[in-house]
Structure 1
Amino acid sequence: MTTCELCGETTGGRYLCQRHAIALAKTLAALPGLYTEVGQCLVPRQSSWGEIVTTRAAAGPRSPLNEDVLDTVNWGRAAEVVRLWRVDVQRVRWPHHAPPPPPADLNADCRWLGMELDWIVERYPATGDLAREMGELERQARSVTGDPAPRPQRLGTCVAVNGEGVVCGAVITRLPGQTRVQCRWCSYVYDCERDWLLLLHFQPAESA
């Protein structure tokens, strides 16, 4: 592995680039607090809250909350997901050790994964999937607490040309404020004003 599994940037043998490794560390540190806040934002199904909302499909009153959120965005599910990742990392690193005992503890498991992050980024083959799932847990929590993380912006398609004159054409995205982007397909780096101007100038008419 020589490129980041999330952005394709050259990493020198690690599964994540420095930027995404730092982002994963921040996510692991933030998750317990975020899901504590989620628990304060969501009202259990059996509790009354505000105006009763009825629907044609329902025979009686329903909570105005999206009940799917209560089922999928909560401390218990987050703790279960993080615990499964901790168990798997421990299995790979120390195959002869017994798995950590239940019940899942989100605080302890996030802290444990954070302490093992250097090894994970260098040696754990599923690091990219781990980072993506932790990021999804964070996005789900922030969608409830009202503080969504920034989403990648689509800039267009890569205009780099190979030695045979073929244009790459892969989708180029960046986070708000990001000034250096590497194409995940051809590895061309956009990092100066000239690069951005060329990217804009040579976009196909339909995506300009």
Structure 2
Amino acid sequence: MIVCGLCGDETEGRYLCERHTVQLASRLAELPTLYAEVGECLVPRRSGWGEIVATRGAAGPRSPIDEDVLDTVNAARAAEVMHLWRVDVQRERWPSHGAPPPCGLDADCRWLRMELEWVADHYPAAGDLAREVRELEARARSIVGDPVPRPQHLGLCVAVTDDQGTVCGAVLSRLPGQPVQCRQCGTAYRTEQDLLLLLHYQPRESA
């Protein structure tokens, strides 16, 4: 049995589930722009470790950041990582082809997006790729002041799933702004009335 390399859910033979395939596609599309913004937030160091500083919010005391680590969060590092992933995917898919030359973060992310369906279906390291792209995004967002939103936990799914009145009961969560849909039974809570009913039928804690 093959499961998603990121969340462990069953995937009908794919190495990345549909939800995480969509998320990876979105992250690959946003990564070049995000790292371009990182470049605008940082002053390039001039003569050694520890001289790179944030340009936004420069007034006031400097935050206690490990600047050596901060210096690794840049477009060059992201481009290096993503190019290595492109080389490995191409080696797995077309073993007879030579390794592609470095061509920049934008081009490598675009190439990986174009091959994403093959990656999800045939590339055993798809989960590791998705995990590293997610980490690159999180590091960049920590610099530009736009951290990755945390999932909102909304309670338990109250959908009735059979003629005997069985309630699904799966935990519902979503990222801010995304629709509410149960991952277990597929029930969507689209309208304000749906959400009110969801709240109304939540199990009551015993006193």
Counterpart for residue 130 of structure 2: 131
Matches within 5 A, 1:70-109: 70-101=70-101, 105-109=104-108
Please, which runs of 5 or more residues in structure 1 have no aligned partner? 54-62
Alpha carbons of structure 1 residues 177 and 52: separation in structure 2 relative to 1, 3 Å? closer
CA contact (8 A) 1:79 1:105 kept: yes
AA aligned to 1:21 is T
TM-score by structure 2 length? 0.66
What number of residue pairs does the alignment pair up?
192
- The residue type paired with residue 197 of structure 1 is L
Pick closer, same or farther for the CA change 1:81–1:99 going to 2, 3 Å.
same
C-alpha contact 2:34 2:141 (8 A) present in aligned 1:
yes
Task: Give the Cα–Cα distance (whole angstroms) in 1 for the partners of residues 151 and 144 of structure 2.
Answer: 20
Aligned position for 1:59 = none
Tell me which residue corresponds to 1:60.
none
CA contact 2:151–2:174 (8 Å) conserved in 1: yes
1:113 aligns with 2:109: no
Preserved CA contact (<8 Å) 2:52 2:71: no
Aligned-residue offset at 1:160:
7.7
Secondary structure, counterpart of 2:153 in structure 1: strand
| Residue of structure 1 in register with 2:181 after alignment | 181
Unaligned runs of 5+ in 2: none
Q: What amino acid maps onto 1:46 in structure 2?
A: E
Distance 1:177 1:52 in 2: 34
Residue type of the partner of 1:16?
A: C
CA–CA separation in structure 2 for the residues paired with 1:198 and 1:47? 49
Pairs within 5 Å for 1:1-208 = 14=14, 15-17=16-18, 20-43=20-43, 44=45, 45-46=50-51, 64=63, 66=65, 67=67, 69-101=69-101, 105-157=104-156, 171-183=171-183, 187-192=184-189, 197-198=197-198, 201-203=201-203, 205=205
Amino acid at match of 1:124: Y
Match of 1:58 in 2: none
RMSD: 4.2
Aligned counterparts of 2:135 and 2:104: Cα–Cα separation in 1 = 19
Contact 2:36 2:75 in 1 (8 A): yes
What whole-Å deviation, never above 9, does each CA across 1:118-176 have from its counterpart, x for those lacking one?
Answer: 3223322332332232123223212222233433112235678999xx99876432122
Mapped to 1, the partners of 2:174 and 2:8 lie a distance apart of 12
Question: CA, structure 1 residues 29+202, in 2 after alignment: closer, same or farther (shift >3 Å)?
Answer: closer
Distance 1:167-1:68 versus aligned 2 partners, 3 A rule:
farther
TM-score where L is the length of structure 1: 0.66
| Structure 1 position 38, deviation (Å) | 0.5
How far the C-alpha of 1:8 sits from its partner, in A, is: 8.0
